[in-house]
């Protein structure tokens, strides 16, 4: 019963929470790994000059900012679940552009901006939906756990990529993003199905 106050240990057992925590971790992994490693990938993996790479690396953040503004505007027409799905679709489209094996560099550059745009609605929509998904009395505890998942993703996943890049190649960058983007999609949709039952 989502209307009863639960001890913290019981909060961990709320229906669907584990899927949402993994979704949050994967989101933070994508956002922070892109923020910290995109420019390095463009320069070392794609041979793009440093100035252009830095400019498009900055545009990733512009994409997030513009996307957050736009998602705030369209909340009258879309609910949180729809905003998350739209964000994931756009984000995956951006990752696919970065993955395209071509010497035409514009795909990677535009893909980076689109990833930022796709990231924009996901984080705020998940937080905003928490009272609806888990009950208002559980919201504070659930949001705390979601933040913990986000911190794990943002703290450990970018260094993990750095370790893999040093031992394999920085060119695994788009595949790393694709893994976490796919993980987000799977966990988010499993959450949606769980909450319907």
Confirm whether 9 is domain-assigned.
no
d(CA 77, CA 72): 10
Confirm whether 180 is domain-assigned.
yes
Domain residues for 135?
15-192
pTM of the model: 0.90
d(CA 72, CA 80): 11
CB of 111 closer than 8 Å to CB of 63: no
By C-alpha distance, which of 11, 1, 9 is closest to 138?
Answer: 11
Tokens of 116: 């930022």
d(CA 154, CA 24): 10
Confirm whether 5 is domain-assigned.
no
CB of 119 closer than 8 Å to CB of 67: yes
Confirm whether 117 is domain-assigned.
yes
Q: What is the pLDDT of residues 11-43, one digit of tens each?
A: 778 889 999 999 999 999 999 999 999 999 999
Q: What is the pLDDT of residues 52-62, one digit of tens each?
A: 889 888 888 88
CB of 96 closer than 8 Å to CB of 111: yes
Question: Is 48 in a helix, a strand, or coil?
Answer: coil
Summary mean pLDDT of the chain? 90
Question: How high is the pLDDT of residue 85?
Answer: 94
DSSP 151-163: HHHHHHHHHHHHH
Confirm whether 1 is domain-assigned.
no
Domain count, the chain: 1
Tokens of 159: 């260094």
Q: What is the pLDDT of residues 89-146, one digit of tens each?
A: 999 999 999 998 877 788 888 999 999 999 999 999 999 999 999 888 888 889 989 9
Taking the CA atoms of residue 186, residue 191, residue 196 and residue 197 in that order, the dihedral angle to the nearest 10 degrees is 100
Confirm whether 167 is domain-assigned.
yes
27: Cα separation from own chain's centroid:
3
**CATH number, position 182:** 1.20.1250.20
Confirm whether 7 is domain-assigned.
no
């Amino acid at each position: 019963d989502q209307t009863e106050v639960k001890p913290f240990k019981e909060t961990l057992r709320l229906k669907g929470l584990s899927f949402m925590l993994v979704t949050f971790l994967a989101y933070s992994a994508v956002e922070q790994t892109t923020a910290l490693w995109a420019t390095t990938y463009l320069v070392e993996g794609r041979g793009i000059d440093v100035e252009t790479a830095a400019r498009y690396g900055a545009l990733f953040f512009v994409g997030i900012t513009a996307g957050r503004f736009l998602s705030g505007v369209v909340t009258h027409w879309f609910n949180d679940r729809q905003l998350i799905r739209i964000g994931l679709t756009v984000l995956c489209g951006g990752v696919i552009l970065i993955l395209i094996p071509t010497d035409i560099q514009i795909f990677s550059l535009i893909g980076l901006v689109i990833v930022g745009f796709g990231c924009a609605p996901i984080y705020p929509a998940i937080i905003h939906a928490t009272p609806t998904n888990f009950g208002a009395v559980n919201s504070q505890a659930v949001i705390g756990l979601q933040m913990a998942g986000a911190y794990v993703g943002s703290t450990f996943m970018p260094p993990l990529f750095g370790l893999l890049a040093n031992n394999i190649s920085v060119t695994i960058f788009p595949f790393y993003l694709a893994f976490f983007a796919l993980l987000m999609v799977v966990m988010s949709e499993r959450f949606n199905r769980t909450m319907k039952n």
